[in-house]
Amino acid sequence: MIGHAKIDILLATLLFGAGFAIPAEALTVAAEIVVSVPDQQIAFLDRGKLIAKYPVSTSKFGIGDSVGSYRTPLGTLFVSGRFGDRLASGAVIKSRVPTGEVVEANAFGRDAIVSRVICLRGMENQNRGAHDRCIYIHGTPEERRIGKPASFGCIRMRSKDVIALYSLAHIGMHVTITQKRISDLLPPEEPSLLARSD
């Protein structure tokens, strides 16, 4: 018999994959965000199940948390702030305030923070400086660079993707930035009801 939790996760995955927003209240307190540096991807997991996955861009300077290093910190952090409710896709955010300007994806010479900002605060010695360094998950107009390291320490996303992730993330949610691949963090798939036993 399939448990209610598995049905809830399956339904949420199907709805999200079909373009429907998953209400935050449908998720459990175990929901978390994982950023894989080698994959250049961010995953939203609930009870170990993959709900959504998006390409990202971490730092072009590598990993670390030294002040002035422009590196992406590793380890466990948590969402400490969210900015951008109901802003248009591509809306420029400066000092966590919308400027009123909207930038198109891949606009020449533009490297602004756009659409949504998810602020991070470190929980470990290896990432304690993340908040003071203004390490965010945020939208970028430089969408052509997504999928390879190109940031100055933050986790950059396409506007449509960060808007979707923002709708799922809440204050206090854990965010793990790791050198492991997302596939290595997921439990082995259970056989489906259609799997043969011979």
Q: In Å, how far from its chain's centre is CA 22?
A: 15
Q: Provide the mean pLDDT of the chain.
A: 86
Domain with 48 in it: 4-181
Domain assignment present for residue 187? The answer is no
Domain assignment present for residue 198? The answer is no
Domain assignment present for residue 186? The answer is no
Please state whether 134 falls in left (phi above 0), alpha (psi between -120 and 50) or beta.
left
Domain assignment present for residue 128? The answer is yes
Domain assignment present for residue 167? The answer is yes
Domain assignment present for residue 146? The answer is yes
Domain assignment present for residue 161? The answer is yes
- Structurally, the chain folds into a number of domains equal to 1
Q: Does the pLDDT at position 48 exceed 50?
A: yes
Domain assignment present for residue 190? The answer is no
Digit-coded pLDDT (tens) for 69-118: 999 999 999 999 999 999 999 999 998 899 999 999 988 888 899 999 99
Q: Which amino acid is at 189?
A: E
pLDDT for the residue numbered 80: 97
Alpha-carbon gap, residue 123 to 106, rounded angstroms:
34
pTM of the predicted protein model: 0.81
CATH code at position 46: 2.40.440.10
